[in-house]
Structure formats: C-alpha cells, structure tokens
Amino acid sequence: MRAEVVHELREILGRAGLISEPGRLLTYECDGLALLHERPELVLLPRTTDECARALRVLHREKIAVVGRGAGTGLSGGATPVKGGVVLGTARMRDVLEINAVDRYARVQAGLVNVDLTLAVEELGLFYAPDPSSQHACTLGGNAAENSGGPHCFKHGSTTRHVLGLVIVRDDGSVLDLSRPAVDPVGYDLVGLFVGSEGMFGIATEITVKLTPTPAVTETLLAIFTDLDAACDSVSDAIAARLEPSALEILDKLTIEAVEASVFAAGYPKQAEAVLLIEVEGAEAEVEMTLAELSRIVKQRGAIDVRRARSAAERKKLWAGRKGAFGAMGRIAPDLYVADVVVPRTKLRELVAATTRIAREKRLKLANVFHAGDGNLHPNISYDRRDADEVARVLRAGEEIMRVVVAAGGSLSGEHGIGIEKQAAMSLVFGDDDLRAMCRVRDAWDPEHRMNPGKLIPVHVCREMRNAERPR
C-alpha cells in the first residue's frame, strides 16, 4: 500500500486507530479458525461511524479490499483477509448509545461485546436474548454479520429476530441509516437482508436491538445419561411432544472430561456418557409443568439421574461449563475444528452416530457438544495444525459430515456462517441458479466485490459471473 494512503488514513483515525507494523499485523491473520490465515496489509480501528465512513471513502478510491472484524471469534474464517487488503475492526467502537427500557430496545456501537449489553440492562429487568457460547468475547456486529445463535435461541430465535435497526457504512463510504426501533420494516427489509451477510454488504457501525424481559422463573435441569443415543432420543421426544424449554444442550463424554478439567468445571459427572442441559423459563405454573414432562421423558429414555439447579449460582456454573466447552478442548490438542451442521431433529441419533463414525474412519478425535433442541450439531475435531496429514483428514471429515447431513435433509451451518471454510460446500445445498441470485444481491450492495472478498459464494460461481459481466 502506498505510504501516502497510510498517512491519509492515519490522519483520519489517529495513531491508536491504525496498525501497520508487520509484527502486530500477524495477529490479525486469522479468527477462531486458525487453520486458514492471511496477513492483512493494514488494520484500521475507527472510533465512530464518521471515522469509519471517511476511511472507507479512501479505500474505495484506492480500490482496496476491506474485511470487517469484531472480536475475531468467528469459526468459519469470516474475518480472515484471504485476498489481503485492510482489516477494519470495531474493537474500539463499544459504547452503549441509548437504552429505552419502556420500548425495550438498545442502540449500541457494533463493537460492543455481547454480554456487556446484558450487563448494562440487567438492573432494568431486561436482557439481550441471543447468547452465543462466545458471548463474553464476540461483538454484536459480528453476531449480526453471522446471524449468530446460542443455547437460548431455541426459544428466543437467533440474532435476526432481535436486530431492529442498523447503521451501515457501505463500500463507497456512504452511510445508510436504518436505525428505526420499529418492529415492522416498511418496504424491503434491508436490515433483515444485512443480518447474516458475513461482512460482504458493508460494515455495521451501530445496531439497534430488541431487549427481552427477564423471565419470572428460570429453572435448570441436568439429565445424566450412560448412553449418548438415549440423550439424543429424549430431545427428539421432547420436540415431538411440543415442549418449549428455552434451551436443550447435549455434551458428550469427551467434552465433559475437558470441561471438568478446566476453570469452568461445572460438576458434570465424569462417568456419564452424555449430559442433557435443559432450561425452562416463564411463569411458575407453566415452568413446573414443562419440567415435569421433561423429567418424565428423560427418565423414560434411561437418564440415571436428573438434577435441578438449586440456586442462581449453581445455574450459572452449569452454563459456564457449557459455554467454556469449545475452549476447554484446547486441553486435548492445540487446534479445534468446529463443524456446525443442522440436522432434522427426528434424526439426531443417527446423524450424531454418523459423525462419530466418520471421525473414527479418519483416525480423528471427535467430541460432540451441541444445541440439540435446534438440531444444530457441533462435531468438534481436535487436531494439530502443524501436522499436514492430519489437517487434510480434518478437512475431509468436515466435508463428509456436511454431505451426510445434507443427504439426510439437513444444512451446512446453523450459526457459524459459511466464510471460507464451507464455501465449496455451498454447492451441496444450492444450485448455480440460486448462487447466481445471491451474487446479484451482493452486486447491489458491493458492485466491486471489495467487501470481504473470497467468502461464501463458491469460487466457480464468482468466476462465471465475472466472465458474464465482461463486455462481449
């Protein structure tokens, strides 16, 4: 990049808003998926929408690619600058701008960490419902870009159900203000369109989100199984019985061992083959009824014990264990590959077993911890990125898992996004016509393909589109 451009950007953002030393840039070469990496030429950390817009105008003029980044906890390589260019981080944009407890919304800067919003509104009897396991690190901007979920999204729905408005800085540095706290968008729902766009439609700088009232009663159950299949079957049964707990999460034996060895040890019994973590919230009578039904189901399916959290502290501990599960896998091997497939909930048992089989065939260590209620599996494969052969086997296993799941009527990703990791697999679910339609939507937002290039759309479709655009 030309020195004058760097200088110009530094003038806009100040010294603290620009990182250009090669050593420091190295730390931006990947996100939570360390498998694939590429060092950016420059990192920009604006403080405000205005700074962000002015910087993007310069990058537009210079035709430089821009990759948005929140906290870099993404698991599909979304924030990795595969085509070089500039990483634009929101880590300094973390102000709470407005809280309206009556109309129940908050307007915040996009770099605010998910849990900090809940902490800011807790005293008002409100919370922000989508709770990714990474909620102590990930940003609301990243959540919006990935349409993230979390254990409690089983009841409350994923991020898209909670984003009311956005301020977006577009590829050319223009600012699109869509921040009305209204529930029903008039005209095209551009906010809905942006959520889940993986940084390819522009940079969100402000987000208006819905706040949810803290339920009157919350109860947590831990059902203990000596058999993973039985845990899966009880979830299928609970869904069939039309029960609506707020969360249904399964952890298998390997995951339990890792969690119990960590600072987040939650008291999951180590001899269990699986535990099912259940949360139910609402009015007291309704909660008790649901709990009774669920207890009956898990016992029928062979749970050897059902424990109920006795205090808020105990509940918190059970959840901290669940949410620390990915990280705890660091005890098993240096790296972790997290698949994110969604399966029909009537087929939980078979497909969980299929993932285990695939890993075994490839001599890989697999742990399962997943949002069972949504059928969103996270087969976690431990590996060491320094072992090229193992890396190849991991990638093949990931692909096979997606194939098996898609063949059974499932989907590639529940919440982590496509990024670079599942890009090729898009063709498993979408025909070229579908993908071309997606490309045309992207063209409307980013005609030069400078926003997070090289993601989501399979390479062959991009190439074909580019050829078609050439003047004949």
Partner 1 sequence: MQPAELVDYAKTLDCIHCGLCLRTCPTYRLTGAEPSSPRGRIYLMRAVAEGQLEASDATYRGELDFCLACRHCESVCPAGVRFGEMIESARAGLSAVQHRPVLARLARWFGFELVLRSRWWLSASASAMRFAQRTGMARLLGRWGEALLAMPLVPPRSERAPLAATHGARAPRRGSVAMLEGCAMRELYGRVNRATVQVLTGIGFDTHVPAEHVCCGALHAHNGELDAARDLARATIAAFEAFGDDAIVTNSAGCGAHMKGYGQLLRDDARWRERAQRFSRRVVDFSEFVAAHAPTAFSTGAVRELGTLTYDDPCHLCHGQQVRAQPRTLLELAGARRVELADAEACCGSAGIYSLLRPADSRAVFEGKLAAFEASGADVLVTANPGCHMQWESGFKRAGSRARVLHLAEVLACALDAPAARRDG
Ligand X SMILES: Cc1cc2nc3c(=O)[nH]c(=O)nc-3n(C[C@H](O)[C@H](O)[C@H](O)COP(=O)(O)OP(=O)(O)OC[C@H]3O[C@@H](n4cnc5c(N)ncnc54)[C@H](O)[C@@H]3O)c2cc1C
**Which residues would be at the binding site for ligand X (CB under 6 A)?**
31-32, 67-75, 78-79, 90, 110, 132-134, 138-139, 141-143, 145-146, 148-150, 198-199, 203-204, 326-327, 415-416, 452
Quick one: 199 or 458, whose CB is closer to ligand X?
A: 199
The nearest distance, CB 384 to ligand X, in angstroms, is: 18
368 binds, among partner 1, ligand X, none (CB under 5 to 8 A by kind): none
The nearest distance, CB 363 to partner 1, in angstroms, is: 20
Helices (H) and strands (E) in the chain, counts: 17, 18
| CA–CA gap between residue 423 and residue 417 (Å, rounded) | 10
Using the Cα atoms of residue 276, residue 154, residue 325 and residue 377 in order, give the sign of their dihedral.
positive
204 binds, among ligand X, partner 1, none (CB under 5 to 8 A by kind): ligand X
For partner 1, the binding residues (CB under 8 A) are: 16, 19, 21-24, 26-28, 30, 32, 34, 43, 45, 71-73, 89, 91-92, 94, 111, 113, 115-116, 134, 136-138, 259, 261-264, 324-331, 334-336, 384
Q: What is the helix (H) or strand (E) element at residue 219, kind and residue range?
A: strand 217-225
Question: Using CB atoms within 10 A of its CB, is residue 134 exposed (0-12), middle (13-18) or buried (19+)?
Answer: buried
Phi, psi of 141 (to 5 degrees): -65, -45
407 binds, among partner 1, ligand X, none (CB under 5 to 8 A by kind): none
What b/e string do you get for 159-192 counting C-beta neighbours within 10 Å, with b at 16 or more? bbebbbbbbbbbbbbebbebbebeeeeeeeebbe
305 binds, among partner 1, ligand X, none (CB under 5 to 8 A by kind): none
The nearest distance, CB 97 to partner 1, in angstroms, is: 17
Quick one: 249 or 390, whose CB is closer to ligand X?
A: 249
104 binds, among partner 1, ligand X, none (CB under 5 to 8 A by kind): none
Quick one: 149 or 165, whose CB is closer to partner 1?
A: 149
| SS3 category, 40 | coil
274 binds, among ligand X, partner 1, none (CB under 5 to 8 A by kind): none
Coarse DSSP helix, strand, coil percentages of the chain, rounded to the nearest 5 percent: 40, 20, 40
The nearest distance, CB 326 to ligand X, in angstroms, is: 4
Beta bridge partners of 212: 127
Beta bridge partners of 43: 19, 87
Q: In what order do the strands lie in the sheet with 203-210?
A: 96-100, 105-109, 203-210, 163-169, 175-178
The nearest distance, CB 259 to partner 1, in angstroms, is: 8
Quick one: 23 or 187, whose CB is closer to partner 1?
A: 23
Quick one: 125 or 330, whose CB is closer to partner 1?
A: 330
The nearest distance, CB 205 to ligand X, in angstroms, is: 7
The nearest distance, CB 50 to ligand X, in angstroms, is: 15
Phi, psi of 266 (to 5 degrees): -115, 0
Cα–Cα distances in angstroms (integers) from residue 169 to residues 175, 201, 202, 442, in the given order: 5, 9, 6, 15
| CA–CA gap between residue 254 and residue 271 (Å, rounded) | 10
148 binds, among partner 1, ligand X, none (CB under 5 to 8 A by kind): ligand X
